[in-house]
Amino acid sequence: MEKEKCDLIHPNGVKEKEMEVVEGLTIKYHANGNTIWSKGKMVNDAPDGYWEWYRTDGTLKRSGYFDKGEPVGEWITYDNKGNKYKTTNRDKK
């Protein structure tokens, strides 16, 4: 499957990332177009369920869950070796 080229530029001047959908997962790429920036499921144009973000070297940077676009539950940040560094609870109050 070919990656979508996106010319959308947000009001803050940041260009939208290239992306593709593989086996139901939306995969977005770093600006280099080669390494995965994030991956997870989209439902009705909003992130839903488990998502992961990566550094350009491929190590896991952060993971967490969305419920209809809202971050919920335990979110984990990883150090530059991919080891668990910090946990944040994003449950709605």
The domain segmentation of the chain, as residue ranges, is: 19-89
> Using one digit for the tens of pLDDT, what is the confidence trace for 27-52?
999 988 889 999 999 999 899 999 99
Residue 2 has pLDDT above 70, yes or no: no
Q: Which amino acid is at 1?
A: M
The pLDDT of 69-85, averaged and rounded, is: 94
Question: Quick check: pTM over 0.75?
Answer: yes
Categorize the per-residue pLDDT at 71 as very low, low, confident or very high, splitting at 50, 70 and 90: very high
